[in-house]
Amino acid sequence: MRRSFALALGILACDEAPPPAPPELAEPAADVAAEPAPEPFVEHTLERGQTLWDVARAYGVTTEAILEANELRPRDVRRLSVGQVLKIPGVTERAEVTRAAEPVPVEELPPLEDGAYHVLAPGETLWDVASTYDKSVDELIERNALDDDGVRALRPGRAIVVPGIRDRDVRRAEPAQVESRGIRHTVARGETIWDLARAFGVSVSQLMAANSLSPDDVAALREGQRLFIPGGGDRSRRSREDRLTPRQRRALADARRLGLGTKEVAQQLLRGQVDPRWMRAAGGNRLPGTLRWPVSNGRFVRGYGSGEGSYHLAVDIAGDIGWNVRAAAPGIVAYSGDEVPGYGFMVLVVHPGGWVTMYAHNSINFVVAGERVPRGAVLAELGSTGISRGPHVHFELMFGGENCDPATLFRPGVRHRSRLARIEQHEWTVRDERPEGLQCDRRRRHPRSRWVIHE
Ligand SMILES: [Zn+2]
């Protein structure tokens, strides 16, 4: 446990200086010393056709937890074989493992009062559906009770509830139409799904959905494999503006009116200047109080003030490329882009009361400036763009010209790998009443690096 934790720290440092010993926050010393009772587990023998993902779903645990419990690395997934025995952690009873179920035909689904069913065509993604009906992806995710795994598991034939439409509004996409919205690509030697996502400007989730790939399939991507790249074909011919949904175009118009969305705005926010109009647009004067952990199952790998000379006024949260990065609190997207050096694809959200949060190193951003987002809204896909040594989110909480340690504000608490740390919890709702013990400091230049200019 401690060894792998240190390893993660080594890989995931996001500035140039190797991190020193983790801060006390990052050291779950009490947990280690107490040596708690061993976690229960059952053993599952892999049968023909079962993927790690099927097993994880059946037992209600994450694929990562199974990998960890069996001391497997993601690359080992492709070597799993029939008859192999896997330890399933935290589970006391055996479960029936079936292959990803065949989709239920619409006729057999319960009638809807608040919307209608749209059946996914081959190659069609949740993003396409949102765009077709001018809904946000979040609305669809919420109405269909999808978690991150659920989104990735969407397959052609699956019925999606689209709220606020009637049966006669349902547009059945012809496979040919969907097909025309992308291109076929042959995987080259050493090419990963992440390379393709970046090269074609699509998300990893979209690639997975469009090609019916499970996380195991992604790990086993091989040279010569043919993949469908949704939207990939017309990239050069269409401007970015053309690919936006009507909802996003309206948001961008709002952003222009409010003066949001530019590189200058990003830099202004990093200097701590929040225009009162942005705060009003975000929802008023009362601070959100607490923060949502931005990456479900994401692991806390590096804390506030953990860098050289207590540098790094942020927390780093590790996860897999393609995991959702979610808004820590409600607000308005003030910046979404990659123009600030070092941070790669980055999102800045202004919250009520003037909190600003940052989500950096994403593989792709889903939101545009001017979008109002609820707590938990999907902003981006986790990645490793900019100055980054591995997939993670660099998360900052800024207020009044300072960076604040967000650790005690997270609900649920900070996850140290698979455990919740027993740390103090704070709530901060009134601007002038910062909780005692919540640390904030002025952002300053990195002692050595000319690249890491803003931490
Ligand atoms: Zn960082």
All residues with CB under 5 Å from ion ligand 1 = 14, 314, 316, 394
Query: What is the reported pLDDT for 303?
Result: 85
Same fold, 41-91 and 106-174: yes
Backbone angles phi, psi at 409, to 5 degrees: -95, -10
Q: How many angstroms separate the alpha carbon of residue 390 from the centre of ligand 1? A: 11
> What is the distance in A from the centroid of ligand 1 to the CA of 312?
6
Distance 73 CA to ligand 1 centre (A): 23
Determine the distance separating the centroid of ligand 1 and the alpha carbon of 304, expressed in angstroms: 9
Angle (CA) 313-316-321 rounded to 5° is 145
> Could you tell me the distance, in angstroms and rounded to a whole number, from the CA of residue 239 to the centre of ligand 1?
32
Domain 246-441 superfamily per CATH: Glucose Permease (Domain IIA) (2.70.70.10)
Segments in the chain below pLDDT 70:
1-37, 49, 74-75, 77-79, 98-104, 123, 173-181, 231-243, 308-310, 413-422, 445-455
From ligand 1's centre to the CA of 314, what distance in Å? 6
Q: Whole-model pTM?
A: 0.63
Residue type, 102: E
Between the CA of 125 and the centroid of ligand 1 the distance, in Å, is 31
* 3-class DSSP state of 178: helix
Ramachandran region, residue 240 (left: φ > 0; alpha: ψ -120 to 50; beta: rest):
alpha
Q: Report CA(225)–ligand 1 centroid distance (Å).
A: 35
Distance in Å, CA 386 to ligand 1 centroid: 11
CA of 25 to the centre of ligand 1 (A): 15
Strands (E), 220-377: 226-230, 291-292, 299-302, 315-318, 324-326, 331-337, 345-350, 356-362, 364-365, 372-373
CATH topology (fold) of 182-207+219-233: Membrane-bound Lytic Murein Transglycosylase D; Chain A (3.10.350)
CB crowding 215-229: b at 16 or more within 10 Å, else e: bbbbbebeeeeebbb
Please give the full DSSP string across 349-406, using - where no structure is assigned: EE-GGG-EEEEEEESEE---TT-EE-TT-EEEE-B--SS-SSSEEEEEEEETTEEE--
How far away, in angstroms, is 324 Cα from ligand 1 center? 17
pLDDT value at residue 173: 60
The reported pLDDT for the residue numbered 174 is 55
Q: How far is the CA of 315 from the centre of ligand 1 (A)?
A: 6
Q: What is the 3-state secondary structure (H, E, C) of 60-77?
A: CCCHHHHHHHCCCCHHHH
> CATH topology for 106-174?
Membrane-bound Lytic Murein Transglycosylase D; Chain A (3.10.350)
Residue 360 C-alpha to ligand 1 middle, in angstroms? 8
pLDDT for res 161: 92
Structure token digits, residue 78: 């492709």
Residue 454 Cα, ligand 1 centroid: separation in angstroms? 11
User: In CATH, what number does 41-91 get?
Assistant: 3.10.350.10
> Measured in angstroms, how far is the CA atom of residue 249 from the centroid of ligand 1?
31
Domains of the chain, residue spans:
41-91, 106-174, 182-207+219-233, 246-441
Give the residue from 319, 302, 315, 299 showing the smallest Cα distance to 394: 315
Q: How far, CA to CA in Å, does 216 sit from each of 52, 78, 222, 355? A: 7, 7, 12, 39
pLDDT at 440: 94
> In sequence order, what DSSP letters do the residues of 96-156 get, joined into one string?
---SSPPPPPGGGSPP-SSEEEEEPPTT--HHHHHHHHT--HHHHHHHTT--HHHHHT--T
